[in-house]
Amino acid sequence: MSWASVGFFAAVHGVALLAPWFFSWSALGMAIAFHWLFGSVGICLGYHRLLSHRSFKVPQWLEYIIATIGALAMQGGPTFWVAGHRQHHAFTEHTEKDPYSSARGFWWSHMQWMFYLKPEVFDRRVYAQYAPDIARDRYYAFLDRYFLVLQVPLAFALYAVGGWSFVIYGVFVRAVLLWHCTWLINSANHLWGYRNFESDDNSRNLWWVALLTYGEGWHNNHHAFPKMAKSGLRPWEIDTTWWLIKGLQSAGLATKVVMPPVKARVLS
């Protein structure tokens, strides 16, 4: 077990628990806005659908902006995130090869996997082989190294605008809430919910996770067709991240958008 990792996550959670003593409606609103910006734009659209699966293409300058927003989510650099996710799809629920295998229990897949620094998951020299397209990019290598440092100028800017309440809500409360929302896809979505497709795993669709993760909770759909840019397929499967992609496409900024195959489109 890496006690440094345990200490880091415990410290961030601990500071977030100070939130009631620094509450303000403006700080809470800003935390919610950052949850959407870093979560939907940075992680769901950027790290996941754009970088991990190449579900669509945007100009390089815009890809870098979106990836930087993803790095601000404090979920690791792009090479780490993409490599881990690609391992998850390649070896879904394998107890050793899937970094956050749900076969090892809810808490392992939710967060415990980050407390044991296996080289294939946490050593860049090893995991980079699963994301060579990301690892060889110099700007992404910069984000891999300094993603945590990005929180420092963010915290200074928040302090200048709203004092300590903005720092605690904008950095710590936001990080904790977004962490657990993202981790629910690894844990809850492989245990509960319904299935539209008989994929070779236990991935499931879970409406309340989809609401918390801007459409990522339609996880069975995603595992059945990982490269499609749209996760929600049935009329009630709301996918707000897909709305962003459609907006970029309408503006001429998103191209080569991978649409659901025919056997998936019949659900709608």
Residue 262 has pLDDT above 80, yes or no: no
- In angstroms, what is the C-alpha Rg of the chain? 18
Q: What percent of the chain stands above pLDDT 90?
A: 90
Q: How large is the average pLDDT for residues 219-245?
A: 95
Which pTM was predicted? 0.95
> pLDDT grade, residue 265 (50/70/90)?
low
Residue 138 has pLDDT above 70, yes or no: yes
Q: How large is the average pLDDT for residues 128-151?
A: 96
CB 182 within 8 A of CB 176: no
Q: Which residue has the tokens 């919910």?
A: 193
CB 9 within 8 A of CB 114: yes
> pLDDT grade, residue 169 (50/70/90)?
very high
User: Residue 260: its pLDDT value, please?
Assistant: 87
Q: How large is the average pLDDT for residues 150-172?
A: 97
Residue 16 CA to residue 20 CA, distance in Å, equals 9
What string of DSSP letters covers the chain? Answer: --HHHHHHHHHHHHHHTTGGGG--HHHHHHHHHHHHIIIIIIIIIIIIIIIIT--SB--HHHHHHHHHHHHTTSS--HHHHHHHHHHHHHTTT-TTTSTT-GGG-HHHHHTGGGGS--HHHH-HHHHGGG-HHHHT-HHHHHHHHHTTTTHHHHHHHHHHHHHHHHHIIIIIIHHHHHHHHHHHHHTGGGTSSB-SS--SS---B-HHHHHHTTTTTBHHHHHHSTT-S----STT---HHHHHHHHHHHTT--BS--PPPHHHHTT-
Residue 261 has pLDDT above 90, yes or no: no
The string of pLDDT tens digits covering residues 66-106 is: 999 999 999 999 999 999 999 999 999 998 999 999 999 99
Residue 51 has pLDDT above 70, yes or no: yes
Q: How large is the average pLDDT for residues 213-224?
A: 96
For residue 75, give Cα distances in angstroms to 99, 176, 198, 238, 248.
14, 10, 30, 24, 24
Q: In Å, how far from its chain's centre is CA 105?
A: 20
Q: How large is the average pLDDT for residues 32-41?
A: 97
> Which tokens belong to 180?
């657990």
Phi-psi region of 214 (alpha: psi -120 to 50; beta: other; left: phi over 0): left
Q: How large is the average pLDDT for residues 46-72?
A: 98
For 39, counting Cβ atoms within 10 Å of its Cβ (0-12 exposed, 13-18 middle, 19+ buried), the class is buried
User: Residue 268: its pLDDT value, please?
Assistant: 58
> pLDDT grade, residue 266 (50/70/90)?
low
Least confident of 86-95, 212-221, 257-266: 257-266
